Structure 1
């Protein structure tokens, strides 16, 4: 018995030694950055700042809101698990992180998202270093598939359909309507109408298996992966989100396998003409990209905009429909052609400033480098996680909804980056913006008297981890004839 307990103690000590070494290293690195003037948020042993993040998530806010209280610094530091995470909170510091011409070195991708929605497409471009073989070629192939005229046509048609089908007089769950719209537009755009509707085996939260349309299964699994990865311990130690220790994790892994296997079969067929699938498959095949990588690139093209576009639309409509912002609703309703385009564009841009749907995906310092910013010079060590904090950058301009900021002459607009900047910026930002503008324009033009019925809810924020509701009532007298907006839709500019 004594030997058993002795062996157990030795085994436990050996297992905890790596954790102790990492903890000591984290404390040492934190002190290193504090001596350079980096301010750190309150953290706890091992769990870092995740207790505070949990409180934010419960209020439908993302972790970036932790870093809005230090306007006079360049970087705010935090701890994620055992990793030091630095957030650039002003323009000069942010530019140094995203523009390699400033420092002479790349800061490349290494992100916790690999353990959330990245489980669906681990080989996708989103998670690969810039130095990966064919990185630029693969990104170019995706860009060729993102035809702005085609996404405009698809989203215009579907926006008119969904706006015209809304009931009058009763409260409508606009969040569900917009989710269905984005799912349908992106599915048709990437895969085509027929392929997006092919059945896939899907397991729900309770473990019940059913056959669901491909895009429905993909959207539900993607969203569940996001929420699951934001559980407390999955944020403290990212890989825990992939461990099959809970029923939810096992259900999600079942869905992931079904989606991946389904696409492996689909991709051996013939792409529907004009789809993103056709462009990416053709371009990747010409340079010898394996089918698995093409599958993952197309999966990311399918899911990257689902929550992002949905929450951009919801945030914009929320702000525009609030009574205090009636002038902007009236301007959209009465505007004609180019004037309407500019006003809708400004409202979407201001909503993205106030409520960016998600953070730019984390990067990591690959080689030690020096960064100059407003407050001085910083030496960033290899292995440090870094990212621009877009919430802090955007908050500089205040919390009032003032779309007029984006109607000023070129060069005087606010400094914003809701989709990132540089080589790692979102390649689908123009496509997503077109989708958002078309729905907002169609909805407001057809239903100018729509009322938000849940303005009394607490903590209404729209982002990729928000569970906020959005209920509207459409009055009979304010409804326009179906199709009346067709003469002046938001154009893709």
Structure 2
């Protein structure tokens, strides 16, 4: 009998792991009961809500928020997605737990086309991302650099002359012309080229990249289907062709800048562009950068960062300019107020200069109201680094989190008459600003992943809108009434107008200077 109950240490060593496993299982079950996923539409077995993926726009997510609240959960195959649609939930994600939501999601296509996240936009939060952001903030997007970019002012001047030359024609496609303007500004700022040499080729590459970035790939949601997905083989070939075309184009530009760098000592006639700024951190032999710092970047980093700037500085700014002009043409009272302010501050004998911008209070209100109703990027994408809890709901690691800045800017609990264009609301004391601390107004995001190019984007937006309103009077074509103006948008990376803005200009100034 004594042998049966004799103490055996090996039994304890075997029992402890089993007891620990039972404890963890019970704890996880209890955690799941206490912290469920946020509410959301029920999906199908295995694929979840995947069939509705292509219909998940900023508008449809705002409609889901009306039913399920400011935190809505969807399951896309194996991927968890969470839509954040109210200021209160945005504050919890972007401020309270900013460090846990600072990663960026990336599809198979995005990872490949950004050289495995060698850029700043899609790099995960960490030392590499901090280095990339520091380079962009101190060099590429610095306000000091913006003031020295004569190219911005010169391109806007050429753009105004092009508009002026079309006075007397039936109409002007303002949307198309504005997109051309922002492409010219960004291309010239990036590569320093005043000619159109190579520009068409680069724009073609951008269009291919843009299409591949947004293309649906089931492997992003159900990786285990990759081996039977017929789409993957063709997609991989197109991804490879696209990246090789970018390699050929930008490698030549980098080589030209290296040659310019070697000859710089013998000449003072060089004007720095964005590639020059990035080359300060690049050494073709793999040594330290020219600045003697530990920061070094590769050719892949330069290529990926240039694509960040081209995508971030072209369609987003053009869309905002076009929306501002459309809203003003729909609200003639506000256009009249703005033109009166421009006449009072600037006069009717010259264009608007950069030095005038800070004196144009109502212009600032018009821009803010445009960004509230039409944020440059309607869905700001984040990814969770670890499992976490928001407002009592479980958000798993690697969940894709969509901050619906479009819905937040129209939240009826945060804004009076939220769907109406009313720039005067920003004249009131205590009106929200877009610096990132007022979570009812986050067109540029907030926290660690807020837009580093905000100041440059605003600079181009304000100067262009001010000059379009100051230099010209505008009427709608074919006797169209303001109430008939189509104000629908098209969802994508940005949310541009569904129908490009067409209007008839007439000269307002005695001359363009």
Gaps of 5+ in 2: 1-27, 262-269, 283-288, 346-356
How far apart, in 2, do the equivalents of 1:386 and 1:439 lie? 33
Of 357-366 and 90-99, deviating more is 357-366
Of 258-267 and 440-449, deviating more is 258-267
Is residue 291 from structure 1 mapped to residue 299 from structure 2 by the alignment?
A: yes
Superposition deviation, residue 218 in structure 1: 3.2
SS at match of 2:441: coil
Q: Is the 8 A contact 2:43 2:49 kept in 1?
A: yes
Superposition deviation, residue 448 in structure 1: 2.1
Of 276-285 and 388-397, deviating more is 276-285
Is residue 321 from structure 1 mapped to residue 315 from structure 2 by the alignment?
A: no
Match of 1:333 in 2: 339
TM-score normalised by length of structure 2: 0.71
Q: Is the 8 A contact 1:48 1:236 kept in 2?
A: no
TM-score normalised by length of structure 1: 0.74
Match of 2:20 in 1: none
SS at match of 1:112: coil
Superposition deviation, residue 434 in structure 1: 1.0
From 132, 139, 150, the equivalent of 1:138 is 132
Matched positions, count: 425
Match of 1:342 in 2: 361
Match of 1:403 in 2: 423
SS at match of 2:121: helix
Q: Is the 8 A contact 1:354 1:399 kept in 2?
A: yes
How far apart, in 2, do the equivalents of 1:305 and 1:81 lie? 33
Counterparts in 2 of 1:184 and 1:45: CA distance versus 1, 3 Å: farther
Counterparts in 2 of 1:221 and 1:117: CA distance versus 1, 3 Å: farther
Superposition deviation, residue 126 in structure 1: 1.5
How far apart, in 1, do the equivalents of 2:496 and 2:48 lie? 22
Gaps of 5+ in 1: 1-27, 57-61, 200-212, 487-493
Superposition deviation, residue 33 in structure 1: 9.5
Match of 1:371 in 2: 390
SS at match of 1:439: helix
Superposition deviation, residue 443 in structure 1: 0.9
How far apart, in 2, do the equivalents of 1:479 and 1:420 lie? 37
Match of 2:381 in 1: 362
Counterparts in 2 of 1:364 and 1:246: CA distance versus 1, 3 Å: closer
How far apart, in 2, do the equivalents of 1:255 and 1:41 lie? 42
Counterparts in 2 of 1:382 and 1:242: CA distance versus 1, 3 Å: same
From 117, 124, 132, the equivalent of 1:129 is 124
Counterparts in 2 of 1:356 and 1:118: CA distance versus 1, 3 Å: farther
How far apart, in 1, do the equivalents of 2:173 and 2:325 lie? 13
Superposition deviation, residue 295 in structure 1: 3.1
Greater CA radius of gyration, 1 or 2?
2
Q: Is the 8 A contact 1:353 1:418 kept in 2?
A: yes
Superposition deviation, residue 116 in structure 1: 4.6
Could you list the per-position Cα deviations for residues 73-128 of structure 1 after superposition, in whole angstroms to 9, with x for gaps in the alignment? Answer: 231112344311112222232122222xx248432323236625971554102121
Counterparts in 2 of 1:412 and 1:124: CA distance versus 1, 3 Å: closer
Counterparts in 2 of 1:162 and 1:91: CA distance versus 1, 3 Å: same
